[in-house]
Amino acid sequence: MQLKDLKIIVTGGAQGMGAHFAQRLHEAGASVAVGDVNEEKLAALPAGIHRRRLDVSNEEDVISFVKWASETMGGLNGLVNNAGILRDALLVKKDRNTGEIKKLSTADWNAVIGVNLTGATFMVREVVAKMVQDGTKPGVIVNMSSIARHGNRGQSNYVSAKAALAANTFTWAREFAPFGIRVGAVAPGMIETPMTQGMNQKARDALVANIPVGRIGVPEDIWIAVKFVLECDYFDGRTIDVDGGLIM
């Protein structure tokens, strides 16, 4: 599918990779609707990009947003499923000094699963339902997974969500094929975004030191992969790792 023909939603698009994707799509002539909980940063997006507050973990919000985006753009044939959060912590930790046992909180588990998996699934469900209802084809969905899906210390919640998204990319590609809708995923490694900038500096430095290409990634690196999934009509059901060769 050519980018200029897209009427596409980008979730988590107020900053970081999502904002970069939205801008690149807009520059290519696509109609773009961006959703995010950060209304201040949404307002700062370039003119011509549609924007509205969206909490993907809220089912009613997702349903309303997809309806609005389709009406605003005069149709809908794409989704970049990008919204995500981090709430990193070991599942169980013993304090070296006090011996106190600390556990990953239920709130932090639910927050990450709610946005990164349940919310992402709601988005796919509603976007595909709308496309099928309208008879729109072809259609394309890009899920943002992560190389953390293979497992990463201190990220049980994030790993669970991103692994499930990669697995469901395969599942949904088969479910939606009769409707002419492709589903692919991109799994970034360590990328320079506001989310990773908030990481513990020691952990961040250790990760960067293990990247064979010798640098942290930038959003443009991931956009190249997203663009490929959107444009290549023979790509379906797979996840592309874009991580500089990082082994976590």
CATH of the domain at 92: 3.40.50.720
**String of DSSP letters for 154-203:** TBHHHHHHHHHHHHHHHHHHHHHGGGTEEEEEEEE-SB-SHHHHTS-HHH
Domain membership of residue 202 as a residue range = 3-242
- Tell me which of 122, 158, 176, 223 is the catalytic residue: 158
- pLDDT computed for residue 206 by the predictor: 81
106-113 vs 156-176: helix crossing angle, rounded to 10: 30
Total domain count for the chain? Answer: 1
Is residue 44 a part of any domain in this protein? yes
Beta strands (DSSP E) in 2-119 are: 7-11, 31-36, 50-53, 78-81, 92-94, 101-103
pLDDT band (50, 70, 90) for residue 85: very high
β-pairing, 181-188 vs 239-242, is parallel
* Whether 158 is catalytic: yes
Is residue 98 a part of any domain in this protein? yes
Specify the pTM.
0.93
Is residue 234 a part of any domain in this protein? yes
Is residue 247 a part of any domain in this protein? no
Is residue 248 a part of any domain in this protein? no
CA dihedral 74, 60, 56, 86 (to 10 degrees): 170
Q: Which of 231, 242, 222 lies closest to 16 in space, CA to CA?
A: 222
pLDDT at 197 over 80: no
In percent, the amount of the chain with pLDDT more than 90 equals 89
pLDDT at 148 over 80: yes
Is residue 75 a part of any domain in this protein? yes
- pLDDT computed for residue 194 by the predictor: 78
pLDDT at 91 over 80: yes
pLDDT at 204 over 80: no
Q: Please state, as a whole number, how many other Cβ atoms lie within 10 Å of the Cβ of residue 26.
A: 21
Is residue 169 a part of any domain in this protein? yes
pLDDT band (50, 70, 90) for residue 248: low
The pLDDT tens digits of the residues spanning 35-77 come to 999 999 999 999 999 999 999 999 999 999 999 999 999 999 9
Cβ-Cβ contacts under 8 Å for 248 (sequence gap 6 or more): 147, 148, 150, 151, 152, 207, 210
Beta carbons of 120 and 151 less than 8 angstroms apart: no
- Mean of pLDDT over the chain: 95
Beta bridge partners of 69: none
Is residue 77 a part of any domain in this protein? yes
Burial classification of residue 66, based on how many CB atoms lie within 10 Å of its CB (0-12 exposed, 13-18 middle, 19 or more buried): buried
- pLDDT computed for residue 208 by the predictor: 83
- pLDDT computed for residue 210 by the predictor: 85
Q: Which residue has the higher pLDDT, 151 or 48?
A: 48
